[in-house]
Every structure is written in structure tokens, then in C-alpha cells.
Chains A and B, each alone.
Chain A
Amino acid sequence: EAQVTQNPRYLITVTGKKLTVTCSQNMNHEYMSWYRQDPGLGLRQIYYSMNVEVTDKGDVPEGYKVSRKEKRNFPLILESPSPNQTSLYFCASSFDPGGLGTEAFFGQGTRLTVV
């Protein structure tokens, strides 16, 4: 089954304790990205990756890092989480045939609470 898998689904952590949210897709998609969803602000892109070793900032990248060492995986790293990073996070992937845009597939989300 074609899918995007995020882990963990729920996470409560303390301020400053480094954490990683994993994302994996089994569709051989080139393009992957991370979004956060906040009440009143909707979904906003954090980082994206066009392919292995190619990453770039989205609209709200502050406080986050990403890496793309393998095509299937795109982890989101919070090196020093703060309470304003409490949010619902989504990983997405899509096939990128020359940048023409295709259907995006989303993971089930990770609800992060930073206390």
C-alpha cells in the first residue's frame, strides 16, 4: 500500500530536549516536505526537499532542521524545542516530474506538545 508514515504519532517533551520526528514514504517520490498546522493559521510549510541531499526552507523554518540522506526518508529535527513549536505536524510527498506538480500524499500527523 502506497503511504507516508510518520512516527511518533503523539509526543510530549520538555523545552530544550532534542527530538526527531521521522517520515518515510514507499512511493519512490522525489519531493518531500513538512508542514505544521496551528489553529487560526492553517497549514504552513516548514522545509522541503526536491531530492536526496537537496533541501530548502519553506515559510516557517526557524527552529527546525531536516536531512535527506535517502530518498524514502525525510526526518524533522527540533534541536532545542520551545513551547511555540507545539503543533500538529504533517509530512508529505509527491512525484516531481520536472517540477510540474503532482498529487501530494500526507502522513497521519504527529501531535507535538512542548512543555
Chain B
Amino acid sequence: KQEVTQIPAALSVPEGENLVLNCSFTDSAIYNLQWFRQDPGKGLTSLLLIQSSQREQTSGRLNASLDKSSGRSTLYIAASQPGDSATYLCAVMFSGGYNKLIFGAGTRLAVHP
């Protein structure tokens, strides 16, 4: 069964810390992996998309890496700010899945001043 797991489930850190959020998936045959941000009760904001042929993507203070062979991705947030507080979701598009995304349960991040 194709599954996506995110660790930790919740994280609380002081402002300024560098963070690593982890995502693991059960099948290395993937098209891509996307990281999303979700604010409470709100929609999904796409942060980074990594195609299966890529190793990492960067956007501002965010860097996402992909290691298909080990079934892992990490989202690195540099110099965290209170505005980064949200739930971060990892979603994998597995090969043969007709563009269906399998989501992890998310990591709920709180950055306090």
C-alpha cells in the first residue's frame, strides 16, 4: 500500500531556529513530491514541487530535498519566523496513480517570538 508518513506530528520552536521536517513514503516509483502549507481552516498553498529526477528545490528560506531510493524528503526552513506557524503537508504523486496525491498527516509547526 502506498503511504506517506510525516514526522514529527507537531513542533514548537523559538523564533530564529532552523528546522527540518521529515516525510517518508513507501514506494520509490514516484512522479513528484509536493510540500504544502495549510493555515488553520484554510486552503493549501503549494511551497515546493520536486520532480522525481530532481534532488532538491529551493524557494527563499525553504529548501526541500528528495531521496527516492530511501523514500525520504526533508523540508528545511531557515531562520524560522512566527509567520511560518502552520501545518506543513507532504504529498506524493506515485507512478501509475493518475495524478492522485497521497498526503501525509502533516506537521503542525508553532514558532513563538
Contact = CB atoms under 8 A, between A and B. Distances in A.
Asked if A and B are interacting partners, one says yes
Interface string B73-113: 00000000000000001010101011111011110000000
B99 A58 contact: no
A104 interface: yes
Contacts of B43: 90, 106-109
Contacts of A106: 36, 43-44, 46
Chain A, interface size category, equals 20 to 34
A24 interface: no
A108 B42 contact: yes
Contacts, number: 63
Nearest to B103: A43
B46 A105 contact: yes
B50 to A, nearest CB: 10
Contact of B41 (A56, A58, A88, A101): A88
Interface of A: 31, 33, 35, 40, 42-43, 45, 48, 50, 56, 58, 88, 90, 92, 94, 96, 99-109, 111
Interface of B: 31-32, 34, 36, 41-44, 46, 49, 89, 91, 93, 95, 97-101, 103-106
